[in-house]
Amino acid sequence: MKPLSFSLLAMTLLACSDNFEKDGSEITAEPAGEPSGEPSGEPSSEVDPLTTDDDEDGYSENQGDCDDNNSQINPGAEDRAVDGFDQNCDGIDGPDLDQDGYVDLAAGGNDCNDNNPNVNPGMQEDITDGLDTDCDGESDPGFYAVTEEYVDELCDGECDRVAISVDGYRQAHVVYEYEDEIWYNYRMTNGNWAGFESAATPTNDSVESCSDACGFENAWVNDGWCDDGGGPSTIDPSMPTSSVCSLGTDCTDCGPRYSTGDARRLGVAGMDAKVDSQNRVQVAFTEEGSAFTALQYIFRDAQGNWSEPLEIDGPSNDRFNVGRDVAMDIDSGNMPTFVYFNGESGVPYIYDMTNQLVSGLTGLNGINVQLDLEIPEIDVESIDPTGGLVSGLLPAPIIGGYSGLFNTVVIDANDDAHAIFYNHNELQEVINGLSENSLTGWAVPQITNYINNYVGFTVLTSDPGTINQYSSLSLTDIWGTVTGSGSYCYNNTVSLQQGIYNSAALKNDGSVCVAYFDNDNQQVKYACNTGTCDGWNIETVVSANVGTPPIPADNWEELDNRDIVPKDRVRLAFNNKDAPYIVYHNATSNTVNIALKENNQWNTYQVGFGGEQLDVDIDPTNFIHIAYIDNMGNVKYVMGQ
């Protein structure tokens, strides 16, 4: 700003002519930039506009604000995408996290690894570093961890279930269980974690558990035994046999049971999470009370607000043992589908949350369908009390079967849901053992017909390789039953081995693939459907002990075993070139490992320690995001390529 004395002199010059004063003396101006006359003593009223924060966003132009008329644009803003605006005023339209001058590929740029300044289109390819150094789409063999961080290192060994899902901005959203609550954290586009927060806490509502709604034809109701269907033992009539249904549902003989909020746990017996196309985080989890388990659902909207829990299945439907080992996926309308264990029937259920139109027409919030036949426990001595052929050859007095743990579900481009679940049929297991023995094989057809006729439907087959229900993985397209259209597969065998810890994913053409642990042979397997219900190509990934389930399958239906439902130890994901990535736990070394198929063979790499619970997702730029519970019980995150 010019001095005031200079401004007065300029006004005087304009008022005079010929550069002379009124008294005739010559006017002599002082050199430019030099002070003229005495100071006026009056303060300046003008303010430099470069120091003013015009849009009130905390930054002026002198502080780096490149658009001081837009509060969304300043050096502290987040520039998420190539959209025509340089939101963070770094001179680049879009995020440049590693500051190498190239914008993140996921945001519309061409930097395929925006966390590494040595990887961008301007670099020369290094074939030894395991990275696509020049971003030409051709990666070197191997797995390279770009970053390894804690999602939550304050668990003190109390964190358990974990799920990860990545949005279109490559932000990793991690949901996990901590001290019987559901917690959440996400990794922002600038590479920082937003900070963990509680997503759901146990309620205090009182629930009365009483339904008389389970069991085989309810033959146990009013029998005078508080046993939920087991009945008196033929060995010791004074004692009841093991229960068939969950404790507390034999109302007429046991009376009701109650659960209150202080006894509840969230997520311990099952939890899954996905991010939809609107960047909402959708979560399914098991809620457990002292006398019930239920399936609950919450979501986090784009503004960061969590919804109240919505009961999908449970006491409100007069079911008190449902929801364990839940798996979830999201359709094209951002609506979730759940597959979970129903302990009252001992089989998996699928629940498709329909849109508002369907709900209005049907009066239902969703479509709930049973995925397998109930196989009742059979007292061998009671069906053949004379000690004849059946009881003479079958080794156990009580034999049954259950399915629906180790669940997974994927939804294809046609919004068809494909469910994979482990099917444990103890009866079939025994029959298989008899058929393999030359001394007892002759009796298999007679025993099979005897039991099938007793039950009233085909539970067993004399040919174990045809519809063997024991240790099988089943593929089910639920929409085949609802719409009556398209290809429908029901209880078709993927593998006859004891395939557990399974995880399904879709290729670009919509075909279903599954990774699982073959517990019979101690191997991680990979299988892809060939286009028919029973057509699967199976290959061995690696020989490794992923871990044996903590309880026998014939005890899964018992409510008291809710604490030790198996965890997710094998997870499968595809990149956009249909390359499979399998992350698994090695129980022998207590490590997290990743298996890649390179040059038509499987190679494995260690990621970290722990991993009895883990999950994986792949972002649009083919970076692998892994979340797992480490060997200290904290939540760990690894991103790599």
Beta bridge pairs of residue 418: 410, 477
CB neighbourhood size of 537 (10 A): 10
Assess whether pLDDT exceeds 80 at residue 601.
yes
Structure confidence at residue 488 (pLDDT): 66
CA distances from 427 to 228, 241, 300, 392 (A): 21, 18, 45, 15
pLDDT of 607-617, one tens digit each? Answer: 999 999 999 99
d(CA 65, CA 52): 10
What CA–CA distance (Å, rounded) separates 310 from 291? 19
pLDDT digits (tens, 9 = 90+) for 474-495: 555 555 555 555 556 777 788 8
Domains and CATH numbers, the chain: 78-140 (no CATH), 146-202+259-640 (2.130.10.10)
169-200 pLDDT tens trace: 899 999 999 999 999 999 998 899 999 999 99
For residue 470, name the pLDDT band (cuts at 50, 70, 90): very low
Q: Is the pLDDT of residue 603 over 60?
A: yes
Which helix or strand (DSSP H or E) is residue 314 part of? none
Residue 225 tokens, joined: 């035994």
Long-range contacts of 352-356 (CB under 8 A, 24+ apart): 352/417, 352/478, 352/482, 353/297, 353/312
User: Cα–Cα distances in Å, from 18 out to 12, 15, 32, 147, 256?
Assistant: 12, 10, 20, 78, 113
- Can you give the three-state secondary structure of 433-483, one letter per residue? HHHCCCCCHHHHHHHHHHHHHHHCCCCCCCCHHHHCCCCEEEEEECHHHHH
564, pLDDT greater than 90: no
- pTM comes to 0.75
Q: What angle do CA 64, 69, 70 make, to 5 degrees?
A: 85
Q: Is the pLDDT of residue 580 over 90?
A: yes
Q: How far apart are CA 77 and CA 114, in angstroms?
A: 18
Query: Three-state SS across 71-112?
Result: CCCCCCCCCCCCCCCCCCCCCCCCCCCCCCCCCEHHHCCCEC
Contact 254/200 with Cβ under 8 angstroms?
no
The pLDDT of residue 300 is above 90: yes
**Could you report the per-residue pLDDT of 372-398, keeping only the tens digit for each?**
777 666 666 666 655 567 767 776 666
pLDDT class of 424 with cuts at 50, 70, 90: confident
Nearest in space to 430 (alpha carbons), one of 447, 415, 449 = 447
Mean predicted lDDT score pLDDT of the chain: 79
Tell me the two tokens of residue 285. 């989890």
User: For residues 622 and 616, what is the distance between their CA atoms, to the nearest angstrom?
Assistant: 12
Q: What angle in degrees, to the nearest 10, is found between the helix axes of 426-435 and 444-455?
A: 160
pLDDT at 432 over 80: no
Q: What is the pLDDT of residues 510-535, one digit of tens each?
A: 999 999 998 888 999 999 999 887 78
Q: Per-residue pLDDT for 44 more than 80? A: no
Q: What is the pLDDT of residue 369?
A: 79
CB count within 10 Å of CB 11 equals: 8
CA–CA gap between residue 257 and residue 290 (Å, rounded): 8
Using alpha carbons only, what angle is made at residue 394 by residues 393 and 395, rounded to the nearest 5 degrees?
105
How many Cα atoms sit within 13 Å of 233 on the Cβ side? 11
Q: Quick one: pLDDT at residue 465?
A: 30
pLDDT for residue 265 is more than 80: yes
Handedness of CA 85, 86, 87, 89 (dihedral sign): negative
Dihedral sign (CA 548, 552, 558, 560): negative
pLDDT at 277 over 50: yes
The runs of H, that is alpha helices, within 222-313 are 251-254
Banded model confidence at residue 217, pLDDT cuts 50, 70, 90: low
Mean pLDDT of 74-101: 88
Q: What is the pLDDT of residues 142-176, one digit of tens each?
A: 888 889 999 999 999 999 999 999 998 899 999 99
Judge whether residue 2 has pLDDT over 60.
no
Asked if 328 contacts 417 with a C-beta cutoff of 8 angstroms, the reply is: no
Q: At which residue do the structure tokens 């094998």 appear?
A: 570
User: What's the CA gap between 267 and 202, in Å, rounded?
Assistant: 10
The pLDDT of 74-94, averaged and rounded, is: 88
